[in-house]
Every structure is written in structure tokens, then in C-alpha cells.
Structure 1
Amino acid sequence: MPLFFDHHKYMMTAGNSPLENSFGKIPKRSKWDDMVNGRKPFETPERRQERIQKMIHKIETEQADASIARGYGVVSETAATSGQMTNIVLPDNKEDIYLSWIGDGLGIEFDNKLTILFNHEQILLDIFEGWSYYRQYLEKYPLLKGNEINKWNGRWISHRYDLAYGGDDPLAGFNPLKSDINGLFKLEPVPWANVIIGIAQKNSIENIVGYLYYIDKSNTTIGFIPFKLQDIMRPNQLYAKIFGAAEWSQNRRQIEKLYGTGIGLKAACQAGCIGIPAMEPKGLKDFLPKEKRTKQISRKVDEEQKIIFSTYLIWILAMLNNEKLWDMSREFAELLLKYEAGAAKARRDRTNNVNQLFESASTKQFLLNLIPIIEDEEEKSGYENIGKVLNMMPKDNFPYFNTLIRFQYALLNK
């Protein structure tokens, strides 16, 4: 409690507890004071100790509710969190009340304001290790907003589990603060995929369950969600295998920023678990074949765009879960390029045939659009092989395989 609440700025909000409201109504303050001073009406050590003692007294003598226990419901039937009320007599365990504050302080907040709490000893210890550094930052930077321990946990654990982390100098290369136009410092929330990839790299476990929630004026609960850590690591492993470990290492930070941005963590939870589908990069969905016009892949690709396209390719390959399709898609793309170049006078017709093939929204449509191409070719074995693969492929995989071919074609034809 002293580390979090016996300072000028708190490390986390104390909600409607005596730690915030011990001395009656809090005077109105400007937004500047609210951010910089952490909404504390009195700043002397003696006043802080009075608040802490009043909090302890209330915990020891009153029934647990949201004013003294993090994540609990309220007593009033008309309050926003009254849905958590029950007529079941629950044990009033005082230790659980204190633990609720520790548990809330160990949550990791992401850029969508969702917080995850993992019940894993080493992860919790590594998060706890960063608490003292957050206090150091709050004391060192007077214009840094307090009350953001969960955002800090995300920044810290992402740094702590980074491959470049050095234990001899824990803060080396750590730049968690961002200043705004008013000169205030704030913590930028970390993308969820960065943290989960780090956890997967540093902990030799296949799966882990996280509790997802958001505590504010009203509480939001997503529930207990399994994270398939080995699946989440799969795209990185494939990238290093396909393009080389050196290229993956050089572009790692740009690549990992793309993962998990396609649908967001909250939406991904609707699937019941977090794995490769949740890692979808933003923008890829526009390139998947659909009934209406599909987004064209540019042939003019700079280095940044190449990394994005390569990440798309690798995620698709991870979704297909068949590495043989990488070589097959590339060979078929080369076959189509040779087909286009095969007749100078009919080049435009052949290009149109290829474009129509890529716009196929189903396996059946793809095979029908392949017929005019096969009729123009003497050697048909490559096309027959693709037909066999498509016939055996689950229908849900077709859009990914078609897009894989299209990206291979575009990169070869740049």
C-alpha cells in the first residue's frame, strides 16, 4: 500500500474508496491538476496516512463492496454495478479484499482499454518487478500522469520480454513515455500482440488462460479466455524459416506491430480462444476475394510495403497450416506469369484471364475461370495439380490460398 498510495501521485486509481474520499467532498480541480496531481485533495504524509488507516479500518469492520474491494459489486440496488448483487451469503474474507487490490495492480492494459490478468507465477513476478520502476518514473517526471499502473505493466512486460532486454541494465532502451502539446507525459498503451508474443517467447508453456476485464465507473467482464501461445508464435517462426532468420531479426519490430491489428482483441475473444486467427494483420481482409471487387495488389512495392505484404503472406500460410502450399502457390504464380508472356498479340486477353481467375470468390468459380487458361496451354500438369489441391481443400481455406497466390504473383511481377 505505501508504494502505491503513500505518495503525491498514486500508481493506480483508488476508485470510491477512503483512499480518495476520506475528508469529504474533493474540491474541484482543473484537468491539469487532475492528471498531474492524481486527484489527491491533500498532499501531506500525515493526511495520506489518515486515508490509509481509514481504508484499513473500513476493510476490517465493514462488508466488502466496490468501495473497498476491486472488482466487487455494490450494496445499492440502483448503482451501475448492481447486476453483481446476490442474495447468496458469501464469506467475507478480509484477505481476499487486500488481494483484490494486488490482483488489479497486476493487470496488463492494452490499447483497447481491456485488461488481462494471468494466473502464472513467473509472469506475475516479472510484472511486480516493474512496479518500483513506475514509482521511480512518477517521482522523476512531475508532469507524468499517475493512476496508470496497468498501462505501465503492459509497457514494462513488453520491454522485459523483448529479445533485446538486458538484465544488467533493466531500463536500457526503455522509452515508455510520450509527451503531448501541453508538455504532459503519458504512457502509450502497448498492442496486445506484442505482450502475448513476448510471453510466448519467454515462458515454455503451450497455453495460458487470461481473465479479461475493464474496471471503471461500471465494470466490463469478457471472461476467462485461453491463449494458444505456440500458435501465436507460429507466424514468427514461419517468417524466419521462409525469409531467413536475419531478415526476420532485422524487421522483427515492424512485423510484430502488424499482428493482432486486423480485428482487435475484444472481437477476437468471441471465437472462444486466442490463436492464429486473432493475429490477423490490419488491411489484409481487403485483399481477400469477395463477390464484389477485390482490392488490387500494387506491383510498385517499397521496402515498407514489402514487409507488410510478407507479413500478410506468412499469416495466411500459418492459417492454412500447410507449408507445402508456399512452394505450390509460388510455382503456380510463376506458371501464370509464363502464361501471360506466352503470346505477345494475345497478352491483354491472357492478362484479363488471370485477373478474372484471381477475382474468384469460391473454389468452383476458380476452377471455371481456370478453363480458358488451360485451353491455351499445351503443358497442363501444373494446372491439374492446383485443381486437385483445391478439390481437397476445406472451403474456408480457399480465400486464403487464392490470396496467397495473388501476393506471390504480385511480388514476382513487381
Structure 2
Amino acid sequence: MYTTRIGRLFLKAYNDKFEKNYTAKGFFEKVFVPLFFDYPKYMMTAGNSPLENPKLSWEDMIKGKKPFETPEQRKERICKMIKKIESEKADASIAIGYGVTDNTAATTGQITSMALADNKDDIYFSWIGAGLGIGVTGALTILFDNSQLLLDIFEGWKYYRSYLEKNPLMKGNQINTWNGRWIEHRYSWDYEESDPTAGFNPLEPTSNGLLNLLTVSWVDVVLKIARKIPMDNMMGYLYNIGQTNTTIGFIPFKLQDIVRPNQLYEKVFGLPVFLKDRSRISKLYGTAMGLRIACQNGAIGIPAMEPKGLRAFFPTNKGVRKIACKDDEEQRITYKTYLIWILAMLNNEKLWDISCEFAKCLLNYEAGAGKARKDRTNKVNQLLDSVTSKQFIQNLIPIINDEQNIKEYENIGRVVHEMPKDNFPYFNTLIRFQYALLNK
């Protein structure tokens, strides 16, 4: 039923922006249905409703083996849908996101003994709201409750229809996937107001010769939203409607936290480096756990952005994995992304300089050993292999005993002692990456 709320929120914003006075039914009949369903190829599936087109495969229809329905048949189908909405109580056959009346079915839900008002507007709103969902990888759709974002999604509807008409081999019924691709493009740095589809290439060929829309990752689209809409939290409703319905629920997206790693990357390494690396950086973020698992934390923020492979370098009771560096561009970007994500998790920019200076200090300590360098290297390795903050401080003592100027070591000992224990694995890993990169 949340699709109803999103549809209502959108229509108010639409009427205000364009100085219209559409009712839910009026917008559904005059704008939504003509765009979505009054063409041979539909923009979204219509489920079990009368709007659903005949059950023919895309391959058969596009290759001409079976004819599309006629305009007269579509008109009859649309009229039947309006009549059904006006004469029957809302359920999954005429309203998007609603449950079926059979409480044993896989798509059942929201059944109650309470006498709910039979509001026809809610049904129309549910269709409008469903058309505004953002489809992301992992077979999830996100509904965001932000009026400006909804209006920008709506702006892309006409271009989806245009793409369907211009590309005979393009599959239909992918409005949510399109919305994700469109917003990721619409909120890009190089978007051109005068030529909205310039540089927009969302299609890929499939094995059967058709053209399919590429699904956008949640990180790509949410990063773009966070950059475009300056707010801390945006509520998202995550779900999937198919043969069985999946509901993740309401999840806050901490937009300013999500964009923080990119801001730090730019600040630490410079804007030119960030602009050169950003496309590959975004492919790393959010790969450690996936969106569904990240939702278990109750909110989507910096932890959900964790890059895959980083956690293997964290200190554990079983030991610490050695960090090996090589002259490789992909590894350079990956390791930089690891460093920046750790810094974002620590939420203390001062720790960047502290970790870097301490890594230099350790390298100088090793270099000043002469013939005893191996002994000093062993002490440094033992320090970096520390699993807890207490162990780290204990392993720092033998190094301090070898040095005359101990100010840097006292400073790092104080930092480690005062930081929350949960932060130590992140900070120690930050030092180890700094040390490995400088040592290379």
C-alpha cells in the first residue's frame, strides 16, 4: 500500500509544479495509462489486472511470429480496468502492492478484519506510485519519499517511451529498471539540460538478439541522489513484486554519510585523481555484503558501502593478513578506496595524517638499524600484527626502547589508548595499508 502514498505525494508535487488540478483518476486516465499502456509495448507489467497484455513472449512478439493486440483491443482492456476499479474493492488484481484476498496465496498480505474505507483514489495512486520505483541490482525496488526526486523520475518516463518506440528489439515492462538508469544519468556531473539523453547508453544486447536495460547498482544511483539532494536522511521502502512478493521494509538512507567517502577521496588525493578514478571507485563500494544484508543494520550509511575484500585484512584472533603491494593500477585504486572507507568509518580526518606519519616513522626506524635491520623489521611486524589495542601498546614498548626520540610513539600510543576499542581494527588496518604503500 505504500505505493499509494508515493503516488499521492507525487501528484501533489506534479500539480503544484505544472499548475494542474489532476485528481488521481484524472492523471491515471489522461497521463499515466496513455503513456504506459496505450502502445503495443507496455512500460510496466500489469500483473493480474485487465491491463496486462496477452501472455506472449517478447521474442515472438518482437520477431513478428505473433501479432500485438490491436488499438481497439487495448481500448477495450483499458475500459475494463477502469470499470473494475470503480466497481470492486481494492486487491492485488487492480491495485499495486496490495494483497490478494486468498490468505493462503504466496502474494497474500495486509488482510485485516477491520472495515477499511473503499477509497478508489488509493487504487489509482498505487499505479502511479509503482511507476516511480527505482529498480536496483539484487532484484529490489526502492520507493523514496522525496517530491523533487519523484518529479525527476517522472521526467524520464517520456524518454523510456521514446526508446521503446525507436528500438523494435527493446523489451518493455522495465520501468523500474529504467528509473534507476535514468536517475543515475540525470544526476550525473555531465548531464546536459539542452540534450537530456546525450551520452545515455542504457541498453545491452542479449543472447537472443533483443535489447535489455542494464540494472543499476544501488551505490551508483544513491551516490548520485546524495550529491544532488542535500539532505541527511531519505526514507526508502524496499520491496520486490513478482510471483511471490518480498518486502524489506522502511530503511533510512543516510545520504550525507553515503557521499562522505567520495568527498574524502577528493580531499585526500585531489579532484583530478578522484574524477579519473570515480567510475572504478563506485564499482567497489557496497560489494562486501549487498543491499539486502546491509538493510539488516537498520539504515544504509557508510557501513553498507564497505568494499569487498577489505575485511580479509582486518586483524582477527587467527592472525593478520600481510598486505602486498605491486605496480598495478587496479590495485592502486582498490587500496586507496579501502583506505578512504576506513577513514570514513573512523569519522576522524586527523587519523589520516597520524597513520601516515606513523608509517613513515616505522620505516625510518627500520632503515636506521644497520646490520640489525632484520630484528627491527620483526618488531615492526609484531606491532602491526596486533589484534587488540592493548597488544598494540605492549608491542610498541620494544620499539620505544630502541629509539631516542619517542614523541611520535607516545602520540600513537595515546591515540590508540583513547580510541573506542571497536575502532582499533580499522585504525590498525589503516596504518598497515599506509606502511605497505610507503614501503613499496
Instruction: Please confirm whether the aligned pair reaches a TM-score higher than 0.5, indicating the same fold.
Output: yes
- Partner of 2:137 in structure 1? 111
Partner of residue 98, structure 1: 124
> Which among 171, 177, 201 is matched to residue 203 of structure 2?
177
Change (3 A) 1:295 1:33: farther
TM-score (structure 1 length as normaliser): 0.94
Equivalences for residues 72-151 of structure 1 within 5 A: 72-151=98-177
Residue 90 of structure 2: which of 64, 69, 93 is its match? 64
Q: Please point out which of 52, 64, 79 is paired with 1:20.
A: 52
The equivalent of 1:329 in structure 2 is: 355
Q: Write the deviation string for residues 171-228 of structure 1: whole angstroms up to 9, x where unpaired.
A: 1111101112332211111111111111111123222111111111222111221111
Aligned with 1:346: secondary structure? helix
Q: Does 1:233 align with 2:262?
A: no
Partner in structure 1 of residue 60 of structure 2: 33
Question: 1:388 matched to which residue of 2?
Answer: 414
Counterpart position of 1:242? 268
2:191 to 137, 147, 165: 165
Match of 2:377 in 1: 351
- Looking at structure 2, the residues matched to 204 and 376 of structure 1 have their Cα atoms a distance apart, in angstroms, of 51
Secondary structure of the equivalent of 2:259? helix
Question: Does 2:37 match 1:5?
Answer: yes
> What do the CA deviations read for 1:241-279 (whole angstroms, capped 9, x no partner)?
111122112222222222222222121111211111111
Residue type matched to 1:242 in 2? V
Is the 8 Å Cα contact of residues 225 and 273 (structure 1) preserved in structure 2? yes
- Distance across 1 between alignment mates of 2:382 and 2:164: 59
Q: Tell me whether 1:199 sits opposite 2:225 in the alignment.
A: yes
Alignment partners' CA distance in 2, 1:37 and 1:131: 25
Aligned ranges 1:272-291 → 2 under 5 Å: 272-291=298-317
Partner residue, 1:339: 365
Identity of paired residues, percent?
Answer: 66
SS at match of 1:221: strand
SS in 2 for 1:123: helix
- Say whether 1:313 aligns with 2:339: yes
Unmatched segments (≥5 aa) in structure 1: none
1:397 equivalent in alignment to 2:423: yes
Q: CA deviation at 1:311?
A: 1.2
SS class of match (2:51): helix
Contact 1:362 1:398 in 2 (8 A): yes
Q: What is the CA–CA distance in structure 2 between the aligned matches of 1:289 and 1:37, rounded to whole Å? A: 57
Q: Secondary structure at the match of 1:181?
A: coil
Distance 1:30 1:197, change over 3 A: closer
On the 8 A contact 2:356/2:431 being kept in 1, the answer is yes
Q: Encode CA deviations 1:32-69: one digit per residue, 9 max, x unaligned.
A: 338x589x985211111111111111111111100110
Distance in 2 separating the partners of 1:280 and 1:127: 28
Q: Secondary structure at the match of 1:294?
A: coil
| Residue identity in the other structure for 1:9 | K
Q: Hey, what's the Cα distance between the residues in 2 that align with 1:307 and 1:299?
A: 12
Distance in 1 (alpha carbons) for counterparts of 2:60 and 2:406: 74
- Deviation string, structure 1 residues 110-145 (Cα, Å, up to 9, x no partner): 101111111111100100011111111111112211
Whether contact under 8 Å (1:289, 1:403) holds in the other structure is: yes
Match of 2:321 among 285, 291, 295: 295
Aligned partners of 2:349 and 2:398: how far apart in 1? 29
Please tell me the residue identity of whatever aligns with 2:113: N
1:155–1:189 Cα contact (<8 Å) kept: yes
Distance in 2 separating the partners of 1:232 and 1:173: 26
